[in-house]
Amino acid sequence: GAGVSQSPSNKVTEKGKDVELRCDPISGHTALYWYRQSLGQGLEFLIYFQGNSAPDKSGLPSDRFSAERTGGSVSTLTIQRTQQEDSAVYLCASSPNPRFTGELFFGEGSRLTVL
């Protein structure tokens, strides 16, 4: 399949542990986004990568959250010292068009549960 791939699909961790969530975008897509979806809430923007430009990190909720994108392809979202309020579905999306006119292609998300 050529869709956006995210792993793990589900992750249960203990409070205080670090977690890494991975996103493999559609090949050739230059833009990559991370969103967070908490229970009963909409999608909260976290971070956006576009080609070689500096990422837009304006949505990251705290300095415990970071993300990187290696080689313009795979991205990893890292949450350090997880808290219970970090429990959510983390959605990754990619887009082929740097001049944004069209849709985002989403993965199935990674559900994070912090005990």
Partner 1 sequence: AQTVTQSQPEMSVQEAETVTLSCTYDTSESDYYLFWYKQPPSRQMILVIRQEAYKQQNATENRFSVNFQKAAKSFSLKISDSQLGDAAMYFCACPRFYTGANSKLTFGKGITLSVRP
C-alpha–C-alpha distance, residues 102 and 100, integer Å:
6
Start-to-end C-alpha separation, the chain: 33
91 lies in the site for partner 1, by CB under 8 A: yes
65 lies in the site for partner 1, by CB under 8 A: no
Nearer residue to partner 1 within complex by CB, 79 or 93? 93
| Residue 3 C-beta: closest distance to partner 1, Å | 8
Written as six digits, the tokens of 8 are 């793990």
Collect all residues with Cβ–Cβ distance below 8 Å to 54 and sequence separation of at least 6. Answer: none
Nearer residue to partner 1 within complex by CB, 25 or 107? 107
C-alpha–C-alpha distance, residues 10 and 95, integer Å:
24
Binding partner 1 (rule: CB under 8 A), the pick from 50, 73, 80, 87 is 50
C-alpha–C-alpha distance, residues 37 and 15, integer Å:
19
Please give the residue ranges that form the binding site for partner 1 (CB under 8 A).
31, 33, 35, 40-43, 45, 48, 50, 53-54, 56, 58-59, 89, 91, 93, 98-104, 106-109, 111
